[in-house]
Structure 1
Amino acid sequence: MESRTELDEIYSKRVNAGKRVYFFDIKSTRSKDYYLTITESKKRTEEDGMFYEKHKIFLYKEDVNKFVRALNEVVHHLKTNLMSDYAFDKNDRDTESYQK
């Protein structure tokens, strides 16, 4: 029999971003309902060793369209109104792999 962890991990995408790593994971509930988790993981070093600080957002199906619209709007505003002179694509190390 499959464990709960094997059942609820459906799809995952990892984004390395310097000292941070972002995880976009699609998971399922026991009733086969799906949701998205967005996790930011940052490596921290302290006196007693290294650990990962994590922050997580749960995004449910009824909010997906609203979330994506708001995210697209905010990113568009950032790129066109606030930072139009910044070369976002030039500084994106993963751009080449997405274009293939």
Structure 2
Amino acid sequence: MAKKSVIARQKKREATVAKFAEKRAALKEAGDYAALSQLPRNASPVRLKNRCQLTGRPKGYMRYFGLGRVMFRDMALAGKIPGVKKASW
């Protein structure tokens, strides 16, 4: 599991991106790059990192499920993800 501080930092970035999304879009539309550079750096969506919703793991992220590969496997084997089952042929 990722450190609590890293997960908290990510949540804070997500909130900042959501807060400034409208303002960023308006400034980009107007082409006012000087004012755009005055916004907080964490307001840019590029600074977000996809992380597992349960553990905060940054690598092995499966976008469709919002989980890391380890938690996805555990939940799939336990039958907690509908429509997913172990392949066998």
The TM-score, its normalising length taken from structure 2, stands at 0.25
Point out the structure with the larger strand share. 1
Q: Which has the higher contact order (CA 8 A, sep 6+)?
A: 2
The TM-score, its normalising length taken from structure 1, stands at 0.23
